[in-house]
Amino acid sequence: MVAAPEVELWFVREVLPLEASLMRFLRNSYRNPGELADLRQDIYAELIETAQTKIPDPTKPFVFALARNILVSRMRRERIVPMETMSDLENLALASEAPPPDRTVIARDELRHLRDAIDQLPPRCREAVMLARIEGLSGREIAARLNLNESTVSHYVKDGMRKLANMLYGTSDPQGDPA
């Protein structure tokens, strides 16, 4: 067994940076945008379970091979498989080979990337996130400052967390958001 902190470290350092290309791959292969977040979540869960036994090395080919397997088995279960999905599947290996260059460019300026991500949050959400993150205020203090109740503040902050994760790792348009 691999210890949980070690798995977490591997997941954050090796897997999350691949999310943007993984999402692009999923978007191109699976024509059901409403379920992409679920799909991603399934892939991550299985990756983590595998890593608990042994950390895959190298990570990237493993991630994409597993993504492909999950995708194929999911589509087999679904009765209707669109033609374009099938033809795309044949190109999966190809797609996983080429890492998108823009991620690297963005990663070069982490500060600006972070700032832009925060800037893209909806106004109230951004305000709550800033007060929490930059001012270090508690939920109660933010509530007092913004004249909102605590549960509303909590809603904004949590929404901010999820949107930020999507922007920082996945894609700039937050998807899989039930709200």
The residues of the shown chain that bind another protein, judged by CB under 8 A, are 4, 7-8, 11-12, 16, 35, 37-38, 40-42, 44-49, 52, 70, 73-74, 77-78, 110-112, 114-116, 118-120, 123, 126-127, 129-136, 138-140, 145, 154, 157-159, 161-162, 164-165, 168-169, 176-178
20-27, long-range: CB < 8 A, 24+ apart: 20/100, 20/103, 20/169, 20/170, 20/171, 21/96, 21/99, 21/100, 21/103, 22/63, 22/64, 22/67, 23/170, 23/171, 24/95, 24/100, 24/171, 25/64, 25/67, 25/92, 25/95, 25/96, 26/67, 26/71
**Shorter beta-carbon distance to another protein: residue 5 or 94:** 5
CB of 94 to another protein, least distance (A): 23
CB of 140 to another protein, least distance (A): 8
**Shorter beta-carbon distance to another protein: residue 24 or 74:** 74
